[in-house]
Structure 1
Amino acid sequence: MATFMDVHHGMSGITAEQLEAAHRADLAVQQSEGVHFKQAWADPASGTVWCLSEAPSAEAVQRVHERAGHKPDEIHSVPFSV
């Protein structure tokens, strides 16, 4: 499985509770696409949210987020990490 970082813009003022609810929505449907969302971060001031996942493809990540109600603006492959 590949690793992906996706980015959501326009979420100014997002709270920890809202981020957790969005993450739970992803977790509820992730299995149908073979995706595993690992973690999410948010910056309420800039309105940016980042999600780290393992998935068979960027398209699978996109489909999960769309079904959960929050389409990402960007999805980046993460070929390696340290």
Structure 2
Amino acid sequence: MTKFMDVHRGMEGITSDQLREAHQADLAIEADEGVHFEHAWADPDSGIVYCLSEAPSADAVQRVHERSGHRADEIHAVPLSV
């Protein structure tokens, strides 16, 4: 499995409760695609949200996000870390 960082744009003003709800929506269905969402971060001023996951593919990550109502604008594999 590969780690992925995805980016969502256009979420200006997002609150911590809204971020938590979106993350929980992903967690509720992640197993259907063999994905595990590890963490999410948001910048309400810029409207950018980042999600870190482990998944079999970027397509699997996108399918979960689409089903939970917040399609990712970008998904990047991050195969190396320190």
1:31-64 CA-to-partner distances (Å, cap 9, x unmatched) read 0000000000000000000000000000000000
Name 1:41's counterpart in structure 2. 41
* Aligned mates of 1:63, 1:10 — CA distance in 2: 19
Structure 2, unaligned runs of 5 or more: none
Question: Structure 1, unaligned stretches of length 5 or more?
Answer: none
Question: Following the alignment from structure 1 to structure 2, what is the Cα–Cα distance between the partners of residues 56 and 79?
Answer: 12
| Cross-structure match for 2:66 | 66
> Which residue identity is paired with 1:40?
A
Q: Does the alignment pair 1:18 with 2:18?
A: yes
Structure 1 vs Structure 2: percent identity of aligned residues? 71
Kindly report the root-mean-square deviation, in angstroms, between the aligned alpha carbons of the 2 structures. Answer: 0.3
TM-score in terms of structure 2 length: 0.99
In structure 2, distance between residues paired with 1:56 and 1:25:
19
Give the Cα separation in 1 of the matches to 2:80 and 2:68: 27
Q: What count of residue pairs does the alignment treat as equivalent?
A: 82
